[in-house]
Amino acid sequence: MQKKLQTFLFLTTSALAIGSLTAISEKYISSYIDAFLPSTSKVDIFSRPGTIELISSEGLIIQKLGPATRQKIAPEKMPEIVVKAFVAAEDRRFYKHKGVDLWSILRATITNIKERSVVEGGSTITQQLARIIFLNQDKTLQRKLKEIGLAYKLERNLSKKQIVGQYLNNVYLGSNAYGISDASWIYFQKAPGQLSIAEAALIAGLAPAPSLYSPLVNIDLALKRRSIVLQKMRLENFISDSELSIAINSPVALEPATPKFSQSKAPFFTSHVEQELPHILSKEQLEIGGLKVITSVNFSWQLKAQEIIKQYSPPEAEGAIVSIEPKTGLIRVLVGGIDFNKNQFNRATQALRSPGSTFKIFPYIAAIQTGFKPEDVLFDTPRCWYGYCPKNFGNKYYGEVSLTHAFANSLNTIAVDLLSQVGFEKVITIANSLGIGKNTNLGKFYPLAIGAYEETILNMTAAYAGVANRGIYIKPSAIEEIRGPDDEIIWTHKSQKEKTTQVISPEVADTMNWMLRQVVLKGSGRAASLKNRQVAGKTGTSEGNRDLWFIGSIPQLTTSVWYGRDNNKEVKGSSGDSAYSWKQFMISIANDIENKNFPKSSYPKSF
């Protein structure tokens, strides 16, 4: 009896020792192998190579570029019928294996030998997820071994729900659909939770060969695949006999659509961002992708600006609106035309237009900087400068006028007179320091004083923002921050050394802002006046009424409104139309901006 007990204890102890040793060895070997494999945390933040997300300042996705999975579902919220359809179609033993299914591999091998071709695969859903996230499609032994190792690692670190959920979020399903959300929308214009059993089965049937089985390419083949998936679902008891019968006989009600987020919700703005990215990031960074670009656009303002341009543009004219935050240089609104779908030319950034009288701000700044004061008097009368004889609007001349009166009423003769007195160099230097004249050099000719030069709407807005910012010019930026594939910050607007430059003194800027306020209070910009808010702005009309401008600021925002025709013909309207549109836009966003005043000036409130 004692001997039997000793034998039992020996065997038990030996079994426990062997089991423990095996477990420890397995754990050690697993840990050793895992050290050479990527972290499974990448699954949660995975983006396909080349993908770039453009996000508004409020955190809204406004566009996704590249082969993007455009909308994801939390694994715990993945619709049950979708999970069942894919498990039945791709990996019926998914809940039984630990990442690799040897029985499936054996079965697939036998089937392929019989058919003398590869007709069945043995990869599990876990292996497919490992391939999508970490590997490529190369058919090599090394890649397959890595895939198997990663599949085991994923199973050790993630739950089955997480694995199948992330697989469904990232698997390619044809027609530029990456993930079940894309596919549901592209084929049926539905959310995954709205799919019927038949629809879920049809999409699940696409996974092995999306281009071949796509219902948009070959509906008969897609239906055959759907039937196979439905029958597999019945074999696994995922659906009943009646559900199988109904689903197999269901017609396919396709409603093709483009992927969500593939088309921009703010196309003029995002097209500008796309052009700016190569100046910030390397070609390699853009190709690798996985980028989140936090843009500067206020999406709700952008939508309102688009409507303003459509509603208030003069007949046959195009329009543009740009808003810049003076304190940061961030572009909050950029609309470059009435309808991007009809014409992609971005008038805010690509069109070089005559700024008309909005250019007058530069000779006036130069004059104030030289020692002129708003109350100083000049003589307004028809005059010529070396053969150039400017005329005032309506051929009206006022004789002795103060600088303030001349600026508020946009008198051309006084602007040219100031340019003549202070000299070309000072005016051009000030314009350059505020970002004007970088595309084309400013010429030393007298018509320059009244805007006989071409500049972009974006650059003119940034110049006025520099004045509103008490003389500190900040190069405009459409991007606040860029995060890389691992969510690390790789670029930020705040870190740019060139972001702030004091180009004119605060005193000169304050004086200029006071004069700009008089334009709106009593001058040519009265159509832009706002109740209980200080507005500093300037109208502008180019020769032949081809460009209509208003650029106006409140302390926190500088906005320009421009109207014109692409063929440079006359516009039926006036700069007052631009000023009125500016006012309507500002009214629409007023509740979002605190009511602040400009810094106090030593000058009186009237003139």
Is 181 one of the catalytic residues?
Answer: no
**Residue owning tokens 């609104």:** 333
At residue 112, the pLDDT reads 59
How confident is the model over 125-172, as pLDDT tens digits? Answer: 999 988 888 876 556 677 678 888 888 999 999 999 999 999 999 999
**Placement of tokens 């998936």 in the chain:** 229
Task: Tell me how far apart the alpha carbons of residues 442 and 432 are, in angstroms, rounded to a whole number.
Answer: 9
Residue type (1 letter), 16: L
The residue behind tokens 């659909």 is: 177
For 540, the token pair is: 């502008």
| Three-class secondary structure of residue 42 per DSSP | helix
Return the closest-CA partner of residue 193 out of 95, 15, 71.
Answer: 71
Spatial strand order of the sheet with 557-564 comes to 331-335, 318-324, 557-564, 547-554, 536-541
Of 49, 458, 426, 434, the closest CA to residue 276 belongs to 458
pLDDT at 93: 92
pLDDT at residue 289, rounded to an integer: 82
Phi and psi at residue 128, in whole multiples of 5°?
Answer: -65, -40
Give me the pLDDT at residue 439, please.
79
How far is the C-alpha of 391 from the C-alpha of 403, rounded, in Å?
A: 17
Nearest to 302 by CA among 268, 273, 328: 268
E strand map for 357-449? 377-380, 399-402
Q: Report the amino acid identity of residue 463.
A: A
The domains located in the chain, with CATH, are 69-248 (1.10.3810.10), 301-592 (3.40.710.10)
To the nearest 10°, report the CA torsion of 122, 125, 129, 132. 50
Joined tokens for residue 69: 């999975």
Predicted TM-score (pTM) of the model is 0.77
Q: Is 357 one of the catalytic residues?
A: yes
Instruction: Single out the catalytic residue among 123, 184, 264, 357.
Output: 357
CA atoms within 13 A on the CB side of 414: 29
- Phi/psi region, residue 605 (left: phi>0; alpha: psi -120 to 50; beta: rest), is alpha
Q: Please, are residues 141 and 106 in contact by the beta-carbon 8 Å criterion?
A: no
The residue from 47, 56, 90, 181 that is catalytic is 90
Taking the C-alpha atoms of residue 535 and residue 538, their distance in angstroms, rounded to an integer, is: 10
Amino acid 47: pLDDT = 65
CA dihedral 220, 222, 224, 227 (to 10 degrees): -130
DSSP codes, 319-357: EEEEEE-TTT-BEEEEE--S-TTT----TTTT--B--GG
Residue 446 contacts residue 416 (beta carbons within 8 Å): yes
Express each pLDDT in 186-216 by its tens digit. Answer: 999 999 999 999 999 999 999 998 988 999 9
The alpha carbon torsion through 36, 42, 43, 49 (nearest 10 deg) reads -110
Instruction: Output DSSP code: residue 548.
Output: E
**Given this model, what pLDDT does residue 8 score?**
44
Q: Are 35 and 149 in contact (CB under 8 A)?
A: no
Q: Are 68 and 51 in contact (CB under 8 A)?
A: yes
Q: What is the CA radius of gyration of the chain?
A: 34
244-to-98, 196, 225, 238, 248 alpha-carbon distances in Å: 30, 12, 14, 10, 6
Name residues of the chain where pLDDT drops below 70: 1-38, 40, 42, 45, 47-49, 67-70, 105, 107-109, 111-122, 136-140, 143, 496-499, 602-607
Strands 291-295 vs 52-55: parallel, antiparallel or unpaired: parallel
pLDDT at residue 38, as a whole number? 60
